[in-house]
Amino acid sequence: MTDSSPYARALAALDALHAEDPRRVEAAGEHLPLELWHAGRMSAWLDALEEAPDELVRLAVRGQHLQRWQVPRGDYPEGRVGYLTWRRDQGKRAGETTAGLMREAGYAAEDAERVAAMIRKQGLGRDAGTQAVEDCACLVFLENYFTDFSRQVDHDHLIRIVQKTWKKMSPGAHELALGLPMSDEARRLVEEALAG
């Protein structure tokens, strides 16, 4: 018997859009759409962070990177302002699209808007759902992208990025992050950032 709940319909709709990502990643012997794989890592970290997250948080975590490939970072100016504008616009787009899918699946408008607000990272540090989205995003970054990223950014800038990332994370996410397997070089960078 197929689950036809609003949650199941919304999740399937999100994953169908994730699966359209033309970029591919090899994971567990499969070539998966990068965004679908990323969404799966986000959900896995949520399960590690929270014993029983509610379905609105699950949908926000799953939709956080929705269709990000459609507006590349390179379409925005270089530098911090360009990056922050791109990130804000991505959050707004992903939130609006996720909310629309949720309404189509049968969710009330206020639930859909709540998820959109979490995806936009509204209330970070005050709202548990928004904090969960941020924690999962930070953990996916540290787990999968940090080592390559650390080779592209100068040392002092990288230390500041790690410090800013750490400040946005909850104590539970800190504990999980410290347990991640890292190269010796990456671990030294994290330890230096946290000691500073």
Residues 73-131 pLDDT 10s: 999 999 889 999 999 999 999 999 999 999 999 999 999 999 999 999 999 989 999 99
Q: How far is CA 130 from the centre of its chain?
A: 11
Q: Is 31 helix (H, G, I), strand (E, B) or coil?
A: strand
Among 20-29, 123-132, 165-174, 187-196, name the one with the lowest average pLDDT. 187-196
Q: Which two tokens stand for residue 66?
A: 């929705």
Q: Is 106 helix (H, G, I), strand (E, B) or coil?
A: coil
What is the residue type of 7?
Y
Among 5-9, 121-125, 142-146, 169-173, name the one with the lowest average pLDDT. 142-146
Half-sphere exposure of 94 (CA within 13 A, CB side): 31
Question: With contact defined as beta carbons under 8 Å apart, do 137 and 173 qualify?
Answer: no
Q: pLDDT-based confidence at 7, cuts 50/70/90? A: very high
Domain boundaries in the chain? 6-128, 145-196
Can you list the alpha helix ranges (DSSP code H) found in the chain?
Answer: 6-18, 34-49, 55-63, 79-105, 109-119, 128-144, 146-150, 155-168, 171-178, 184-195
* Predicted local confidence at residue 152, as pLDDT: 86
Q: pLDDT-based confidence at 64, cuts 50/70/90? A: very high
Q: What 3 state SS string does 75-103 have?
A: HCCCHHHHHHHHHHHHHHHHHHHHHHHHH
pLDDT 10s digits, 10-53: 999 999 999 999 999 998 788 999 999 999 999 999 999 999 99
